[in-house]
Structures are given as structure tokens and as C-alpha cells.
Homo-oligomer: A and B are copies of this chain.
Amino acid sequence: MHPANASPDPVSDYIQSDWLALFDSASPAARIAIRDVVLAHKAEMSDAFYARMLSDAEAHPFLTHDEVNSRLRHSMQRWLETLFSCETHEQFGSAMAMQRHVGEVHARIDLPVNLVARGARLLKGEIARRLPGSGLDRNALVEAVLYVDNLIDLAFEVMSSAYVASHERAARIDEAYRVFSYGQNMPLERERQRASLLDWENRFLQAMVTARSGDELPPIHGSTFGLWLQHKAVAVFEGSAELPAIRNAMDTVDHTLLPLCGQQIDNGDRAEARRLVKEIQHQLAQLKFLIGALFERFVDLESGKDALTQLLNRRFLPAILTRETELARNQGKGFALLLVDVDHFKRINDDYGHEAGDRVLQQMAGLLLNSVRSGDFVFRYGGEEFLVLLVEVDRQHALRVAEKIRGRIEQELFLLPEGRSLRVTGSIGIAMHDGHPDYQRLVNRADEALYRAKNEGRNRCVADPD
């Protein structure tokens, strides 16, 4: 998965040979006929391409920049010319290098790959519809349409492969930046932004006292706080529920309340001005509350560890299963999933309270960690469910570890608040990686095994047959 692991350019290997096969499959007459159609109509085709793209709401923002617009028409014509005039390996090689570059630029400007695919489809039609006039016979005509199709597909494959690689790299950097940002000193940042808000409030109040008719009041969007929120907080808190509420409050201040304040300055209506100041202070109080909540909730949400048990958060499960599936494929060594569930957990919560339940889960986490090697992985999987990934084990070994865990749970005295204690049992579903590349299937098999362990009376290990 990681770029450092990927081969430098998996595409070029076969693209060259596929192109050769394609080149040989078409008669020279057909290739010349196609090239002539392309050269004769490249300007119209390029215009049709951009007309379509500009009519697309999604593509529009990428294409309206003056320079983009003036350069692209020309580029598109050269692109057609280059692609359809290739006669040698060397020419084709440099045409493909061009596609790679285009894919990288698309990734950099975040132009979705499907838009480009749509444009490619359009071009195929533009060319194909002009071919029947070329005098090719029936079979040659089919080959010619297919030739155009496949050639554009080859170019698009190189382009999209470069796009996917660059796009992944960009997503990784962005994610690293996001994680880095919230690794920064958050309590300090929170205090700093509270102070920024106070600072804006002071500036606003001062302006209300000293402003004259026609003066503009300072918008909160342009304040230190506003800029921080827009340009830094968004990277960290993206997707959080507080963010839209914060934006809402800021919009209310800037677009509704401040203009009204401005009117009161003009009118000199002090009672109404007082009411508006109160209203703005109410919005500010809300903002402060929301920012507190944002920082708070966030610490739980984004940590890689489960807050209660300090085990791995299940959100990392896909990353780790992908890596282990790949390792197993390359090394031929299997791994096992154990889904461990605390029996009758609901009763513990009901009879002893939630704090007791939490204690059981914490002690269970320690028990599991102490039962596996440091190369293994232990996740909090759900409420009272844990997932253990045993690396480089065979079925027998996995069953032995599962049985050891089951026995230890049975033996363990779980300590509850106020000096009380409790015994519990656990059910375990086991599934061995069987070479199937889709890890979701493995998780489902462990889940089914756990279900059977529950059904067959709990406090037992059941392995998925494989």
C-alpha cells in the first residue's frame, strides 16, 4: 500500500507491448486513414471537447482560468496529433511519458479522474463518427474504430495510473498534516483562540463606541480567530459537528448583526444598539462553548487508541488487515483473527453499574495484551468485543492461544469498584486467513464463528472451518 513498497511504474511494462500488438493488428492503410481524420479535424474535436467539459459543473472550476483555457485548446490538438502519429517505439514512449505528466498535473489540481474519462469517451466518438468516410472496408472499419478506442484507452491508463499514485501520495501528505496538526499543543491552542475571540470582542465594542456614520465594523471572519478557523482548524476538525455551528454563528454576526449595528450607528438609536451588542455577545458565548466542545470531543475521536481500554482503535483495522494480507501473500505465512466477546456483559452493567462494566473491559484488555506477543495486535472491536490478530501462526497455534485466553478469562478475578469482584467467561470465534485477498471476508468468518460459540452455550472457542 505504501508508495515506498510499490514498484516504480507498473504500467509501462505492459503498455508498450499492448501498444505493439495494437499497432500490428491495424493495417498501415487503416492507421493512415485514422491519422488523416484526426489531423484534419483536430481543431473541431478540441473545441467539442472543451465545450463539453465547460458545460460540466464539476469540471468548470478547473478550466475557467484564462491561461488554462488558452493553453488547453492548443495542448489538446497537440495531444491528438502526438498520439495518433506514433510510428516507432520511441515516439510511443515519449507520448506515454506525456500522459504520465498529465496525470500528475491532474492530481495536483485535484481534477477528478472520471471527468477525464468522460472527455476521452467524447473524443472517441468524435473520431469514430468521421471514419466511415475514409473508404475503409467493413472489417477494416471495425478494426479502425477499435484501434482508436484502444489507443485512447492506453493513454488514459497511463494517465490514470499516474493520477492514482500522485493522488494517493497527496492524500497521505494531507492526512499526515492533519494528524500532525492535532498532535500539536491543543490546550495551548484552545486558550489562544479563546483569547483571539475576546480580542475581537474588544475591537468590536471599541468600534461601537468610537465609530462614525459610514465606518465599517470589523468582521469576525477577518479576525485572527476567523482566519485560524478557516485555514488551520478546518484541517484538524474537518467533519466534526461543531464546525458548521461555529460557521453559522460567525455568519450571523458578520452578515446579520454587524450590518444592523452599522445602521444604529447611523441612526443613533442607543437602546437598539444595546440590544444588538447583547445579541452579539450571546453569539460569542455560543462560539466559546462550541470551541470548547470541539477541542474536547476531538481528543476522544481522533486518538488511535480506544479511550477506555487503551487498545488499538478499530479504525486502524483496515490498514492493518491490508498489510497483513499482503505480508501473508508475499511470505506464505498465515495469520489468525480471534473475536473475543465477554459473555452476558449486559447483565454486568445491569447488576453492577456501568463503571463496573468499564472496569471489566479494562482488565480484559490487559489480560489479552498479556496473552499475545508484541508482534500481535489487539483491538477494541465494539462494546464488549475485542479483536486479536495473531501474526505468523498456523491453525493449531491459533486454537491453542484462543483456548489459553478462554481459560485465563475463566480463572481471572475481575475487580470492581468498592472492593467488589466478579468472575466472567468469554466466547471466542476464530478464523484463519486462507489466502483470500478480501479481508472483509475473513472478519465475517470470525464473526460467524463467534456467533456459533455463543449459540453453543458460550465460554468456548469455535473455529471457522476452512
Query: What residues on B are CB-neighbors of A61 within 8 Å?
Result: 329, 437
Bound-complex Cα distance A14 to B66 (A):
26
Query: What residues on B are CB-neighbors of A14 within 8 Å?
Result: 56, 118
Stretch in contact with the other chain, from A42-50, A109-117, A259-267, A345-353: A109-117
A245 located at the interface, meaning its Cβ lies under 8 Å from any Cβ of chain B in the complex: no
B2–A174 touching, CB < 8 Å = yes
- Which residues 100-150 in A have Cβ within 8 Å of B in the complex? 105, 108-114, 117-118, 120-121, 124-125, 128-129, 131-132, 138-139, 141-142, 145-146, 149-150
Cβ-closest chain B residue relative to A63: B437
- Mostly, the A contact residues are helix
A216 located at the interface, meaning its Cβ lies under 8 Å from any Cβ of chain B in the complex: no
Residue among A121, A146, A168, A322 facing the most chain B CB atoms (10 A cut-off): A146
Query: What residues on B are CB-neighbors of A279 within 8 Å?
Result: none
A227–B105 touching, CB < 8 Å = no
Residue among A224, A230, A327 facing the most chain B CB atoms (10 A cut-off): A230
Which among B5, B58, B132, B375 is the interface contact of A224 at CB below 8 angstroms? Answer: B375
A11 located at the interface, meaning its Cβ lies under 8 Å from any Cβ of chain B in the complex: yes
A161 located at the interface, meaning its Cβ lies under 8 Å from any Cβ of chain B in the complex: yes
Query: What residues on B are CB-neighbors of A157 within 8 Å?
Result: 114, 117-118
What number of copies of this chain does the assembly contain? 2
A466 to chain B: closest CB distance in Å? Answer: 11
Query: What residues on B are CB-neighbors of A196 within 8 Å?
Result: 374
A62 located at the interface, meaning its Cβ lies under 8 Å from any Cβ of chain B in the complex: yes
Bound-complex Cα distance A320 to B232 (A):
9
A42 to chain B: closest CB distance in Å? Answer: 19
Cβ-closest chain B residue relative to A150: B121
Interface residue tally for chain A (C-beta within 8 Å): 105
A365 located at the interface, meaning its Cβ lies under 8 Å from any Cβ of chain B in the complex: no
A278 located at the interface, meaning its Cβ lies under 8 Å from any Cβ of chain B in the complex: no
A444 located at the interface, meaning its Cβ lies under 8 Å from any Cβ of chain B in the complex: no
A438 located at the interface, meaning its Cβ lies under 8 Å from any Cβ of chain B in the complex: yes
A402 to chain B: closest CB distance in Å? Answer: 18
Bound-complex Cα distance A371 to B114 (A):
43
A456 located at the interface, meaning its Cβ lies under 8 Å from any Cβ of chain B in the complex: no
A179 to chain B: closest CB distance in Å? Answer: 4
Query: What residues on B are CB-neighbors of A173 within 8 Å?
Result: 315-316, 318-319
A143 to chain B: closest CB distance in Å? Answer: 8
A65 located at the interface, meaning its Cβ lies under 8 Å from any Cβ of chain B in the complex: yes
Bound-complex Cα distance A157 to B376 (A):
39
What 3 pairs between A and B have smallest CB-CB spacing?
A227-B375, A180-B304, A4-B239
What are 8 A-B pairs with beta-carbon distances under 8 A? A110-B326, A117-B157, A118-B157, A171-B171, A174-B319, A176-B315, A181-B304, A228-B374
Residues of A within 8 A of B (CB): 1-2, 4-5, 10-11, 14, 18, 56, 58, 61-62, 65-68, 105, 108-114, 117-118, 120-121, 124-125, 128-129, 131-132, 138-139, 141-142, 145-146, 149-150, 153-154, 156-157, 160-161, 164, 167-168, 170-181, 183, 192, 196, 222, 224, 226-228, 230-232, 234-235, 238-239, 304, 315-316, 318-320, 322-327, 329, 373-377, 391-392, 434-440
5 further contact pairs, Cβ within 8 A, besides A2-B178, A124-B150: A117-B157, A131-B142, A170-B322, A174-B323, A175-B175
